[in-house]
Amino acid sequence: MPPHIAVLNGPNLNLLGEREPEVYGRATLAEVEARTRERARTLGVELEWCQTNHEGELVEAIQQLSGKADGAVINAAAFTHTSLAVRDALLAVRVPFVEVHLSNIFGREPERRRSLLADVAVGVVAGFGAESYRLGLEGLVGYLQSRHGR
Ligand code: DQA
């Protein structure tokens, strides 16, 4: 069975393309999804994609990963910096995930430099715009392969 990867997107990412393009670029979320799906296809992984503006829905989406997804690529957007509930859900399900951001959060305002998720992630990719998702997916797939090959 091909590995199953979920890509979870948090609040305001539905506005990509029109939202602060100087920070987040001009690609829409649908375009980011299409590019990521293209890479998933060549990597031979199955991709599930979702976006929500609601913290509880993101928590539920993470809870539902259990037993279903081999890994996840997560852009929790602003919840990255604020949500213990998202962190707790990730700790509960123990599905390996890569944290991704379009912008380099470590070069932005102090409140964005802190992630409540990064220390429990396999890794973090930030600052490459839409390519962060592709890079995150590649990193995750490599991690899963090396883990299974051990
Ligand atoms: C973001 C960075 C967050 O600080 C911000 O709240 C977002 C998007 C990014 O992808 O660069 O909404 O996660």
CATH number at residue 62: 3.40.50.9100
Tens-binned pLDDT, residue by residue, of the chain (150 aa): 889 999 999 999 999 999 999 999 999 999 999 999 999 999 999 999 999 999 999 999 999 999 999 999 999 999 999 999 999 999 999 999 999 999 999 999 999 999 999 999 999 999 999 999 999 999 999 999 998 764
67 in a structural domain:
yes
Predicted local confidence at residue 26, as pLDDT: 94
The residue whose C-alpha atom lies closest to atom 6 belonging to ligand 1 is: 78
Catalytic residues: 24, 101
Atom number, ligand 1, closest to the C-alpha of residue 11: 12
20 in a structural domain:
no
Predicted local confidence at residue 63, as pLDDT: 98
User: Which residues span the domain enclosing 48?
Assistant: 36-74+88-101+135-150
Does ligand 1 have an atom closer than 6 angstroms to the CB of 134? no
Number of domains, the chain = 1
Predicted local confidence at residue 148, as pLDDT: 75
Torsion of CA 121, 127, 7, 1, to 10 degrees: -80
4 in a structural domain:
no
96 in a structural domain:
yes
Going from the Cα of 149 to the center of ligand 1, the distance in angstroms, rounded, reads 34
Predicted local confidence at residue 147, as pLDDT: 86
Torsion of CA 140, 143, 148, 150, to 10 degrees: 180
Token pair 């069975």 is found at 1
| Number of helical H runs and strand E runs in the chain | 7, 5
Predicted local confidence at residue 149, as pLDDT: 65
14 in a structural domain:
no
